[in-house]
């Protein structure tokens, strides 16, 4: 019986791949630069070469020992047809990724949106393991999200679902790259916290956060305000409190729609752990629609971090 799968986390900067066993342990990994822009065929050949090398390094036969290969890719992904309908980062339209990869490799090929694949990884083996319904939120440059309902990835009829970061929390608010104003990710992403911190520092040139950043705004990140808060700084505390309210506002909307058992929070800012999650949970518990019931959504930190995409992609065959 085939026991191994390969998961590919295809990003705009790197192609990360892992050989995964039946217990969801990553046995070996390879990472290569994506080297964009370049033609679709070159990216496909790079992925194939990585898969061949991964199998060879473990003395496995791709046809005999690898059950399937899963690929998580940015863009609007139709997992049923195996077509990436649009990938803005790569500049590809109607990319027949599954079909093309099947010509290069002797394995079944499955594809999925990268955020959905990462969410599925947390559902299979990470912070959302054991839940029947879960939502995984990544607080990063934007807000990535994946929704798992009854063990299945939800992506809508047109493969464009789960764009929770582009729900509006402030009408006519900050402009977003999606064309709307006031989107959740313009307030609750890690990048937004970084930008808010920089603006606050420029307005307060004597604040201690300048010392934390060695006087360089380029060194400011989402952790800067949290560090200042821990040091007792009033401005840092204000920034974190505002950020917590923004995060909680979006999560309450998610809970009121889906009522998941677990919301799993990933991204670098999730490493703040209880410093972030406990005040968020308190706000959620005070305001979500089901607050008088016994069954409450639990908010936890993601545990797989950069491995989530690989593990989720390696399990995509379970979705078929």
In a domain, 29, yes or no: yes
CA 260: distance to chain centroid? Answer: 17
Residues 81, 141: one domain? no
Rounded Cα distance between 309 and 314, Å, is 8
The answer to whether position 76 is within a domain reads yes
pLDDT of residue 2: 63
In this structure, the answer to whether residues 155 and 263 fall within a common structural domain is: yes
Residue 7 has pLDDT above 80, yes or no: yes
What is the per-residue pLDDT across 243-257, written as a single tens digit (0 to 9) for each? Answer: 999 999 999 999 999
User: Residue 72 is part of a domain; what is its CATH number?
Assistant: 3.30.420.40
pLDDT surpasses 90 at 320: no
Whether 93 and 175 map to the same domain: the answer is no
Tokens of 121: 């990884």
In a domain? residue 319: no
* φ, ψ at 78 (rounded to 5°): -95, 100
Tokens of residue 55, six digits: 């199998």
The tokens describing 63, both together, are 């046809």
pLDDT band (50, 70, 90) for residue 54: very high
Q: Which residues, other chains included, contact 172 with Cβ-Cβ below 8 Å and sequence gap of 6+? A: 181, 182
Is position 54 within any domain?
A: yes
Residue 318 lies in a domain: no
> Is residue 159 located within the same domain as residue 236?
yes
Print the domain residue range for 25. 4-123+308-313
75 located within any domain: yes
Give mean pLDDT, residues 217-225: 97
Q: Is residue 43 a part of any domain in this protein?
A: yes
Asked whether residue 163 falls in the same domain as residue 275, the answer is yes
pLDDT tens for each residue of 55-69: 999 999 999 999 999
Query: Would the pLDDT of 33 be above 70?
Result: yes
Both 164 and 89 in one domain: the answer is: no
Q: Mean pLDDT for the chain?
A: 94
**Percent of the chain, pLDDT > 90?**
86
- What would the mean pLDDT of 220-241 be, rounded to a whole number? 98
Distance, CA of 308 to CA of 145 (rounded, Å): 13
Q: How many domains does one find in the chain?
A: 2
> Is residue 320 included in any domain, yes or no?
no
Cα–Cα distance measured from residue 84 to residue 210, given in angstroms and rounded to the nearest whole number = 44
Same domain, 164 and 284: yes
114 & 28 share domain: yes
165, 281: one domain: yes
């Amino acid at each position: 019986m085939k026991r191994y799968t390969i998961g590919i986390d295809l990003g705009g900067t790197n192609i990360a791949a892992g050989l995964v066993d039946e217990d969801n342990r990553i046995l070996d990994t390879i990472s290569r630069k994506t080297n964009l822009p370049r033609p679709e065929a070159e990216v496909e050949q790079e992925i194939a070469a990585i898969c061949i090398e991964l199998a060879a390094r473990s003395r496995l036969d791709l046809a005999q020992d690898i059950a399937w290969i899963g690929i998580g890719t940015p863009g609007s992904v139709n997992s049923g047809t195996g077509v990436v309908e649009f990938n803005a980062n790569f500049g590809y339209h109607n990319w027949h990724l599954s079909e093309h990869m099947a010509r290069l490799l002797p394995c079944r090929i499955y594809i999925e949106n990268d955020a959905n694949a990462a969410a599925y990884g947390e559902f299979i083996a990470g912070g959302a393991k054991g839940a029947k319904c879960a939502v995984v939120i990544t607080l990063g440059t934007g807000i990535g999200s994946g929704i798992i309902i009854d063990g299945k990835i939800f992506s809508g009829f047109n493969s464009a679902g789960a764009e929770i970061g582009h729900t509006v929390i402030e009408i006519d608010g900050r402009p977003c790259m999606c064309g709307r104003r006031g989107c959740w990710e313009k307030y609750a992403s890690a990048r937004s916290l970084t930008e808010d911190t920089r603006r606050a520092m420029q307005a307060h040139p004597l604040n201690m956060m300048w010392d934390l950043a060695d006087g360089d705004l380029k060194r400011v990140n989402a952790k800067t305000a949290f560090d200042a808060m821990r040091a007792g700084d009033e401005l840092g505390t204000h920034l974190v409190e505002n950020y917590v309210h923004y995060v909680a506002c979006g999560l309450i909307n998610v809970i009121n729609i889906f009522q998941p058992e677990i919301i799993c929070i990933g991204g670098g800012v999730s490493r703040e752990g209880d410093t972030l999650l406990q005040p968020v949970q308190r706000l959620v518990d005070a305001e979500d629609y089901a607050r008088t019931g016994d069954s409450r959504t639990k908010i936890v930190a993601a545990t797989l971090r950069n491995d989530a995409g690989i593990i989720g992609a390696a399990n995509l065959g379970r979705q078929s």
